[in-house]
């Protein structure tokens, strides 16, 4: 099932952790609607970057979210967030910089664990009332993005 032009439900719910632990990560209908909105936001990112986006984590049911050690309040649980890389564009820091300079509408854009070359990803969330919050998360904690 396509959620948008370039993103499918299967890529937004795939999880090796869920597979290993027998967790059913099938979203309910209201989350599928949220995922469609999230994927529309990702379409804007894909157009901006001009390369395919590789989703590493999209929707996570509460059981899966807890299994990986994330907070119950994670926007992944609501289908509003996605972690991704864009290998054809550059590293996560370059991707994040471009997104923030572009004026794209987003709720959160977070650079996660990208302090070492070849590591990290971007986390983005999309809501109907976006906060435009830009953060960095790494081994030192969470702090505002400082370009």
pTM metric for this prediction: 0.95
The tokens describing 104, both together, are 């794209």
Residue 60 has phi, psi (to 5 degrees) of -135, 120
**Which sequence spans correspond to the domains of the chain?**
9-144
Give the model's pLDDT for residue 145.
97
- Contact criterion met (CB below 8 Å) for 135 and 145: yes
CATH of domain 9-144: 3.30.1380.10
Residue-level pLDDT at 46: 98
Specify the pLDDT at position 58: 98
The predicted-structure confidence for 86-132, as pLDDT tens digits, reads as follows: 999 989 999 999 999 999 999 999 999 998 888 999 999 999 999 99
Q: Shortest CA distance to 81 belongs to which of 119, 131, 115, 116? A: 131
| Adjacent-strand bridge partners of 138 | 141
Instruction: Give me the pLDDT at residue 23, please.
Output: 98
């Amino acid at each position: 099932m396509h959620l948008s032009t370039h993103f499918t439900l299967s890529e937004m719910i795939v999880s090796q952790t869920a597979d290993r632990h027998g967790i059913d990560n099938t979203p309910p209908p209201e989350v599928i609607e949220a995922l469609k909105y999230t994927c529309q936001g990702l379409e804007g990112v894909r157009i901006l970057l001009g390369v395919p986006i590789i989703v590493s984590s999209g929707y996570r049911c509460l059981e899966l979210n807890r299994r990986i050690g994330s907070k119950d309040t994670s926007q992944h649980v609501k289908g509003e967030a996605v972690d991704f890389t864009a290998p054809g564009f550059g590293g996560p820091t370059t991707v994040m910089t471009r997104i923030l300079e572009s004026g794209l509408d987003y709720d959160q854009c977070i650079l996660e664990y990208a302090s070492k070359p070849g590591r990290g990803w971007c986390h983005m969330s999309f809501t109907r009332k976006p906060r435009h919050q830009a953060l960095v998360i790494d081994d030192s904690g969470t702090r505002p993005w400082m370009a």
